[in-house]
């Protein structure tokens, strides 16, 4: 299988629309940065700021929206910015903290299934309340399996990786507090591998994540998973198509930066 023309058009239209909105509404930062301006040039710094702003847009909305389009095209139920309600009792909260600590201290080996079952055995029925960790970037239901994703930046530091692991454990507890029999799996998604063609090895030595069971999905692993097909190269082509359509508009915007700096 491959991406249908309808799916390709939906993704391309999304990308073009987001970038055009950014081009129309973006205004360079007004912060006075005399050293940067003199070293790099005010026009180049304005271009850099625009690209940085686009990077933020990728993290806030593009990844999630593209993932939803792909998942729905595969026939899955998918929601971005999903609100996961639940209530974690004190005993289970302590259990989660203990699991997290023991993994970080390498006292136990990571085993995602065992972690989930330990939480399932201990969790008490709770109220469907909002929690500080209730916001899920992406929810995808595949048959009877509920997949909860945190889509993170390409290079989290070790402190961030540890905090994200704790969040994934708490998501399991929040869901099971509402339905102890739910088939739940919480995952970390990294949209691309910045070390390509080398493998992503930033976190493998810490033993926090069950790599063999897909607790972290990186680049094509993630996109192929949500699309239920090997579509990664085609997805890159769609981004290229959108980029080609936008090229002149982006060039005109950058030309404005040069004019204003003269």
Q: Are 18 and 61 spatial neighbours (Cβ–Cβ below 8 Å)?
A: yes
Q: Are 128 and 140 spatial neighbours (Cβ–Cβ below 8 Å)?
A: no
Q: What is the pLDDT of residues 191-219, one digit of tens each?
A: 999 888 888 876 655 689 999 999 999 99
Given this model, what pLDDT does residue 202 score?
Answer: 65
End-to-end CA distance of the chain: 52
Given this model, what pLDDT does residue 36 score?
Answer: 73
pLDDT band at 91 (very low <50, low <70, confident <90, very high): very high
Placement of tokens 């058009």 in the chain: 9
Taking alpha carbons only, the member of 230, 218, 231 closest to residue 189 is: 218
Q: What is the pLDDT of residues 77-90, one digit of tens each?
A: 999 999 999 999 99
Please give the domain boundaries of the chain with CATH numbers for all domains: 1-74+230-262 (no CATH), 76-227 (3.40.1560)
Give how far Cα 127 sits from Cα of 31, 116, 139, 176, 227, Å: 47, 20, 21, 11, 33
Q: What is the mean pLDDT of the chain?
A: 91
Q: What is the pLDDT of residues 132-183, one digit of tens each?
A: 999 999 999 999 999 999 999 878 888 899 999 999 999 999 999 999 999 9
Determine which helix (DSSP H) or strand (DSSP E) holds 100, and give its type and residue range: helix 90-104
């Amino acid at each position: 299988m491959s991406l249908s023309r309808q799916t390709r058009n939906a993704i391309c239209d999304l990308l073009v629309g987001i970038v055009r909105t950014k081009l129309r509404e973006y205004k360079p930062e007004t912060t006075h940065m005399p050293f940067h301006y003199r070293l790099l040039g005010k026009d180049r710094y304005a271009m850099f700021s625009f690209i940085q702003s686009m990077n933020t847009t990728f993290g806030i909305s593009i990844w999630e929206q593209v993932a939803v389009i792909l998942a729905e095209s595969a026939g899955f139920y998918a929601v971005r910015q999903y609100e996961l309600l639940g209530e974690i009792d004190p005993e289970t909260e302590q259990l989660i903290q203990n699991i997290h600590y023991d993994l970080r201290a390498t006292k136990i080996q990571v085993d995602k299934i065992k972690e989930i079952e330990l939480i399932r055995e201990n969790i008490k029925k709770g109220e469907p309340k909002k929690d500080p960790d209730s916001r899920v970037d992406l929810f995808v239901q595949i048959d009877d399996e509920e997949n909860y994703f945190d889509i993170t930046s390409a290079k989290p530091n070790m402190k961030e990786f540890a905090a994200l692991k704790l969040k994934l454990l708490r998501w399991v507890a929040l869901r099971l507090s509402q339905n102890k029999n739910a088939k739940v799996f919480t995952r970390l998604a990294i949209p691309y591998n910045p070390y390509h063609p080398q493998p992503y090895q930033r976190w493998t030595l810490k033993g926090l994540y069950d790599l063999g069971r897909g607790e972290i999905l990186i680049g094509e692993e993630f996109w192929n998973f949500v699309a239920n097909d090997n579509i990664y190269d085609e997805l890159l082509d769609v981004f290229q198509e959108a980029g080609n359509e936008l090229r002149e508009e982006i060039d005109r915007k950058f030309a404005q930066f040069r004019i204003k700096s003269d």
